[in-house]
Structures are given as C-alpha cells and as structure tokens.
Amino acid sequence: METEQIWRYVDAERAALADLLEGLSEAEWATPSACPGWTVRDVAAHVISSPQARVLPVLAGMIRARGNFNRFVFEETRRLGARYSGAEIVAQYRRFAGSRRRPLGTTVVDPLLDVLIHTQDIVRPLGRTHEMPPDAAMVAADRIWTKSFPFKARKRLTGSRLVATDVDWSVGEGTEIRGPIADLLLLLSGREPVRPWTDGAARG
C-alpha cells in the first residue's frame, strides 16, 4: 500500500476515534481498557501522543524507566492519562488531524496499527463496536508479523498458520487458524478476537 494511502487510513481512524471519545461520560473515560493497567483515558491519550513525540522527552523517559521500553510506555501513558481531561485529549486529536509526524525509529505503518488495535482496546470494554478497514488491518498485520518487538507474534504463534477469510492474506505454517483479518490482527497483538473463530479452528 502506498504511504499516502496508509496515512489517509490513519487520519480516518483517528478521526473516528475522536468522534467516539467526544461523546463519552466521565465514567466511561475512567473505564478499564483492554490494556491491563490503562483506562480508556490512558489509551486515548497514548494513541494521539504519537505525532507529539519528541526525541529529548523520550530519552528522558527511557532514563527514568532504566532503559525498559515497555515500562517507559506504560508509565508515560499513565502520566498522560492523569494529566489531560477527556476534552483536552479530544482537542489533541483535532489539533493533530492530518499530522505526518511519528516517533523516531518507527515506520509509517506503526501509527496505523496503533490506532487500529487501541481503538478496539477502548470500544470493546465500553460495549461498543468499530469495524476495521480490512485493507488497513492487513497492512498492520504484516507489520506485526515481521516486527519481533514488542509483540513477538511469530514466536507466540509458532506452529500455526493464520488465514484471513475476508482478504487474501496468510502467514505461518502449521495448524490453521481462520478468521477475519481484524480478528487475526488482534490475535497477532496478543488480544482476544472480536468474533469466534470460523471453521472450528482453535486459537493460538
């Protein structure tokens, strides 16, 4: 997929998430998300932190986290969630609409997989739904499969072959796991699927 098309998907998915967030109650903002230890507010703040990331603050955060990237992301996200109100977070989505900035060391696909997956982390605990664009989910799935850190998808799913039922996409070898590409993307990222697996296939 062309770079500009990927960014258009990022723009559209961030805008859809912002529209959903704008109507949340305070109780919904405080709802535990599907990311352990993060509320809906925390996850929402994390997604829109991508175009705001700067090298020096990231380095300072990594030092505070003693070089542990996962700890840095967890603590920084909690800090952002505590710092901003829901209205301020939504305003950030509007302010950075169309931004092409991304953290140093990431590809253009990383903001896409971030918003696709984290939108599900937000909507599912709230009892809501948001359908992923299959073409965008396929690009994000390819990125996770080829990116060992932090998802370790190939290691976790050793002995499994993932086959999408709605797009032409498959990876791996072994016991077949079939489902819509959106569900396979969630599986690759270590999450539970939205729908039951099709064809009686077991989860990896």
Q: What is the pLDDT of residues 117-134, one digit of tens each?
A: 999 999 999 999 999 999
Q: What is the pLDDT of residues 151-172, one digit of tens each?
A: 899 999 999 999 999 999 999 9
pLDDT given at position 64: 73
Question: Is it true that the peptide bond before 125 is cis, omega within 30 degrees of 0?
Answer: no
Residues facing 171 on adjacent strands: 162
Q: How far apart are CA 24 and CA 30, in angstroms?
A: 10
What number is the average pLDDT over the span 190-199? 62
Residues facing 162 on adjacent strands: 171, 177
pLDDT given at position 29: 97
Q: Which residues contact 8 (CB under 8 A, 6 or more apart)?
A: none
Q: What is the pLDDT of residues 94-103, one digit of tens each?
A: 999 999 998 8
Q: Band of the pLDDT at 148, cuts 50, 70, 90?
A: confident
What is the model's pTM? 0.87
